[in-house]
Structure 1
Amino acid sequence: MELQCKVQNYDWGKLGLDSTVAKLLSSAHPDIAIDPSKAYAELWMGTHPNGPSMIIERGVLLSEYIKDNLDAIGPEVRKKFGVTVPFLFKILSIRKALSIQAHPKKEHAEELHKNFPDMYKDPNHKPELAIALTPFEALCGFRPLVEIQNFLKKLPEVANMLSKESIDNFLAQQEQGDSQIVLKPVFHSLMTSDKTVVASTLKALLERLEKEDVPTQSSLLYPLLKRLHNDFPGDVGCLSPYFMNYMLLNPGQAIFLKPNLPHAYLSGDCVECMACSDNVVRAGLTPKHIDVPTLVDMLDYSSYAQEQLLFNPQLEDCNSCVWRPPVPDFAVVRIKVESGDSYNTQNRSSPSLIIITSGQGEACDTEPVAAKPGVVIFLKASRQLTLTPAEGHHLEVYQAICNV
């Protein structure tokens, strides 16, 4: 069943047809005009009330359809999650940084929702997986301690902003020390710094780095600092790359954002899948509400090397691989079918949301659908979709499923 899905025009999205979201929308629905000055940030696939998908041929919301067709969800998913699609599937196209944020654990999400329902809208956790479609930049997890120490030694402007006690303890710490104990006071001091001090520190740092040679600028992340500051002048989040891993993902590489892991997407296009939630605790690079006490308290202060943060798929067969996070809410399958071939998706006990990202051909469940980029299909539990590329073409699709 083909779906009409909701586009979100958030300010940070890529503009017009620079956006993969807009390209997919335009390809699947040529009658929709793309505005070159408008941001096309996210395509939402699923039943989340802020962007529900509709079954085109029936003119009915997917959320309504499954209430009347329990077989679409399947007994295993119903037993675990009830009558719902428990994940939200997205395409993101990012022009400028999203906020530095983390997502609470399930119990913490329930507590935040109960105590601050206006700020934390639902009681669900929000683990998420991002798979790069184009070169993709992100900040993710705290760096190894020695890297942060080196930055603070070379950036006295930043070190002088922070409480002397926290910095002295931190710089005296050996690499094998407990980052949870020594890093939290430093990060707390950073995040609670006076706004005028942050702004003047950023100004002084940018002025100094501007005069350095290119290798020094590169090693001290000047190009990134300058770009973040242009978009978010005076924002404490501009300094976060000195504390968090700056990652450049190639297409097909992925990161899994477990609860309490600090992160921020900076640029590029990705497939994203998450638990069906909108729970975010923000810390910077945003005009939205920042909840510093909650964030500083909940964060995972472990140090990560970049390779620890890459999340690799498992091969399922010669056409497909699957990213299976350690949560029951979702997994994502990538399927590629070459010209002259045909492929039946694996029989899953879960409902699926499937988006064609490249190629041309046909997708058939009970009725054939023209398969082209941007076409989104809902597949009932225990059903298979036959993918047949057109002559001389391939098909590449991403399929979100429950991880049960």
Structure 2
Amino acid sequence: MAGPRVFPLSCVVQQYAWGKKGSNSEVARLLASSDPLAQISEDKPYAELWMGAHPRGDAKIFDNHVSQKTLGQWIAENQDCLGSKVKVAFKGKLPFLFKVLSVETALSIQAHPNKELAEKLHFQAPQHYPDANHKPEMAIALTSFQGLCGFRPVEEILTFLKKVPEFQLLIGDDAATQLRQSVRSDPQMVTSALRSCFSHLMKSEKKAVAEQLNVLVKRISQQVSAGNNMDDICGELLLRLHQQYPGDIGCFAIYFLNLLILKPGEAMFLEASVPHAYLEGDCVECMACSDNTVRAGLTPKFIDVPTLCDMLNYTPTPSKDRLFPPSHSQEDPYLSIYDPPVPDFTVMKMEERKKMKRKGLLEETHSEGKLSARPHGLQGDKRNSREAEGAPGRATWLVHQVMSSFQNIQTLKIPDTDTAQLAWVRLF
């Protein structure tokens, strides 16, 4: 492919209701920084910044300084830009979608289907499941970031059944007894009991859920007013979720799912069928190029309780096991690599860097400078170099086998892998 090999992108902002409003949103701040003409409305939510080629938010690519095509269209016409391995494995399409999220109120209790289920759901209900792809995803915190992820150890759930009678009532005595008896059983008995308990809760009558939530909220509020700490039953979180989604069954999900509070740079990986919900904070998120989500609470959107209950992975795990630590380059301490067990993407965080060899997408959330690039093997040949201004929120597409440098940032060597890659610059 001749000509320039580094291209600025104009990316898509999604204004979902749960996003932070106005300039309080990292997404809005990045938008304002990357586009001088952007006007930020302080009363509107700025939830997600999409960088990729998904049809619901396909970025525009500036080829020769003209935004003539979407990134998806441009890649379709220049498939070699992906590199031979990614081109063949993903049939000439960009396999990942990269986002920045600013979360003010909780996202839904949800999970994402594997490929087989995604194909089935898309065929049956394309209006709710817009593509046939799976959606493994990774969230990496930019600020303190709160979320629910995976089923708690059974012992923790049993403790909540004792301390929260409203929770026990909705699950029912039979299902609760089955869970207690499964503790010393084989793993299959445990997952079967968890499935029964969770399904009983999620399929409860709305009237019963609202009644029990009102009782629980009143009890917690009275205890808090009296100066008592209710952390042992996640009192503050329960009140916050009930305020955001009054009477919603998803409020009780906190007693099933691990509560994670990520520090900046910490990550959680969400493979297919793992239940989760983002609650509060800012993060970057990378996923397979899909928008398929099966929901069952804490949302005004379409919910599909039977599908969610049937598809979930009910294996209980401690919260610490839900963290996904990055590896660190032995050659350079400024490079962190988040490499999940899927071929769709690898994420790299560069705190400082000057040179890299890679393919994929570069996005900045903090640094400023000038990105220059040239075809690999033409070191020192400025005639083949192309430049793009860097600023917070500005995304750039790098063609496969391009050497690039970012002004005033330390040299880095990035490993070449079989997966599609992306990188972002962030000074935590």
- TM-score class normalised by the smaller sequence: over 0.9
Structure 2 regions of 5+ residues with no counterpart?
Answer: 1-6, 374-384, 421-428
TM-superposed CA distance for 1:295, in Å, is 0.7
1:134-153 correspondence runs (5 A):
134-153=143-162
| Residues 1:193 and 2:229 aligned together | no
TM-superposed CA distance for 1:208, in Å, is 1.0
Match of 1:327 in 2: 342
Match of 1:343 in 2: 354
Match of 1:35 in 2: 41
Give the total of aligned pairs: 393
Partners of 1:134 and 1:270 within 8 A in 2: yes
Q: In 1, distance between residues paired with 2:344 and 2:100?
A: 18
Match of 1:403 in 2: 419
Q: What TM-score does the superposition give when structure 2 sets the normalisation length? A: 0.88
TM-superposed CA distance for 1:65, in Å, is 1.6
Q: In 1, distance between residues paired with 2:79 and 2:289?
A: 19
Match of 2:381 in 1: none
Q: Deviations over 1:45-86 (max 9, x none)?
A: 011111111123231221222222232111111110112111
Candidates 331, 340, 355, aligned match of 2:363: 355
1:126-137 correspondence runs (5 A):
126-137=135-146
Q: Deviations over 1:348-370 (max 9, x none)?
A: 3xx31111111222111132222
| Residues 1:306 and 2:319 aligned together | yes
| Residues 1:381 and 2:400 aligned together | yes
Match of 1:14 in 2: 20
Distance 1:58 1:197, change over 3 A: same
Partners of 2:354 and 2:411 within 8 A in 1: no
Q: In 2, distance between residues paired with 1:80 and 1:201?
A: 50
TM-superposed CA distance for 1:163, in Å, is 2.6
| Residues 1:157 and 2:172 aligned together | no
Q: Deviations over 1:188-221 (max 9, x none)?
A: 1001100000000000011111222555412111
Question: 1:98 aligns to what SS in structure 2?
Answer: coil
Partners of 1:359 and 1:389 within 8 A in 2: no
Comparing 238-247 with 112-121, greater Cα deviation is found at 112-121
Q: Deviations over 1:227-266 (max 9, x none)?
A: 1011111100011111100110000000000000000000
Comparing 118-127 with 276-285, greater Cα deviation is found at 118-127
Q: List structure 1 runs of 4+ shifted beyond 6 angstroms.
A: 398-402
The amino acid across from 1:360 in the alignment is E
TM-superposed CA distance for 1:19, in Å, is 0.5
Question: 1:383 aligns to what SS in structure 2?
Answer: strand
The amino acid across from 1:318 in the alignment is P
Distance 1:18 1:171, change over 3 A: same
Q: In 1, distance between residues paired with 2:242 and 2:57?
A: 31
Question: 1:14 aligns to what SS in structure 2?
Answer: coil
Match of 1:222 in 2: 235
Question: Percent identity among equivalent residues?
Answer: 43
Partners of 2:355 and 2:411 within 8 A in 1: no
Question: 1:161 aligns to what SS in structure 2?
Answer: helix
Partners of 1:2 and 1:375 within 8 A in 2: yes
Match of 1:209 in 2: 220
Match of 2:32 in 1: 26
The amino acid across from 1:4 in the alignment is S
Q: CA RMSD in A?
A: 2.1
